[in-house]
Structure 1
């Protein structure tokens, strides 16, 4: 069972995203920067580590997925540390290096500093709320395309 809602496409950038209609905007932002989303997903508010891990694993196991973008478009009460733990756990359980697998992590939410410490420990690029969702999408697409990501 998939942990969250997920609809598949035929792209190379897996999306673990949230924020209701904002997640549609994030999908469009990826496309507007030349990206090819592998899916549309909605992680929902305040997921558990197990739910974040389950959805990330389901997305990463899709054919053609090279990297994962973890993004939310708006400030929410979602715990950044829990989502970070879940997606990192998914990478590790699949034998993937989180640093090489997670193209971008942008969730403006609760427990940000704790989440950012976890992401930093694994060398994952994260964005705080000062980085727009369109800029985060651009960085994710550039990462998949092997381009140098200008911060």
Structure 2
């Protein structure tokens, strides 16, 4: 998912990953209508999201794209407050947004080991630790 031209070895996404993130969300059924709340869970400020909404009236796709762009550009100091853009933070924000089905599908695509742990997701410890387990694989 992440671009090969990384400045470091982290799982951070870059602005060059915008198309891939949009395709990933679309493929797994995220409509984008809750882009504002998603942006808040990313750590974007209400002021930033209000500008996005104002500049893209009645165009949910454009609003989502701009929200993701700001997230990938690390606007509003999200690197410091939320750790920056990554697949993990995307999945985490979707879960907070109660888009669990979308989050689970992305997790399973990006982290195939999630399929192995899926039957155990009723165990809260495993649900919390699963992203760290998959990072080790």
Do these two structures clear the TM 0.5 threshold for a shared fold by scoring above it? no
More helix by share: 2
Tell which structure's C-alpha radius of gyration is larger.
Answer: 2
More strand by share: 1
Tell me the TM-score normalised to structure 1 length: 0.29
Tell me the TM-score normalised to structure 2 length: 0.31
